[in-house]
Amino acid sequence: MSGELEHIVRVQLRWRDIDLLGHLNQSVYHELLEEGRIALIAELIRRIGAEHDHGSYVLAHVDLDYLTEVRKDHGEVDVVMRLTHVGASSLRLHNEIRLLDGTVAATGSSVLVAWDPASRSKRVLTDNERAALS
C-alpha cells in the first residue's frame, strides 16, 4: 500500500443483513462502508505511528448508488475504500462494495472530517497525518 491509500476489507454476510426480497438490506450497505472506513483509519494511524499525534475523524457526508443486488448466497463482499482528496481538514474517499467476482454492487463517496473531541469541532489535519496521506 505504498503511495495511494486504499484499503479492502472482506466481510461475511449475515442472515440478519438480508431483507424479505432476499437481498442485502439498503441500510446494511452503510454498515459495510463503516467497516471499511474503520479499517482505512486504522491503516492511517498505523502509517502515522503510535509515537506521533493523530486525532479522530467523523463522517460528514456519504452518497451511494446501488448497482446490482447482493444476495445471501454471495456469502462475502469486499468493501473498498480509496483516498481521492485531502483537504485542510477533510478526506474524500471513493467507496465500493464488490462481489467476489469483481462486480461492483454499490459505489459512491464519503467525506471524513478531522475532529477535535475536546473542542467538539473540526480541526486542521496535522503534519504527521499529511505525511502519512502523501
The residues, ordered by sequence, that sit 6+ positions from 16 with a Cβ below 8 Å of its Cβ are none
The mean pLDDT of the chain is 91
CATH of the domain at 79: 3.10.129.10
Q: Which domain holds residue 86?
A: 6-133
Q: What is the pLDDT of residue 54?
A: 64
Q: What mean pLDDT is predicted for residues 66-76?
A: 94
Beta carbons of 52 and 129 less than 8 angstroms apart? no
Q: What is the pLDDT of residue 133?
A: 87
The residues, ordered by sequence, that sit 6+ positions from 45 with a Cβ below 8 Å of its Cβ are 54
Q: What is the pLDDT of residue 2?
A: 37
Residue 66 lies in a domain: yes
Q: What mean pLDDT is predicted for residues 117-132?
A: 92
Q: What is the pLDDT of residue 1?
A: 33
Hey, CA dihedral for 39, 127, 114, 88, is it positive or negative? negative
Residue 29 lies in a domain: yes
Number of H helices, E strands in the chain: 2, 6
Residue 64 lies in a domain: yes
Residue 1 lies in a domain: no
pLDDT band for position 3 (cuts 50, 70, 90)? very low
Number of domains in the chain: 1
pLDDT tens column, 9-54: 999 998 888 888 888 999 999 999 999 999 998 888 888 886 766 6
**pTM higher than the cut 0.85:** yes
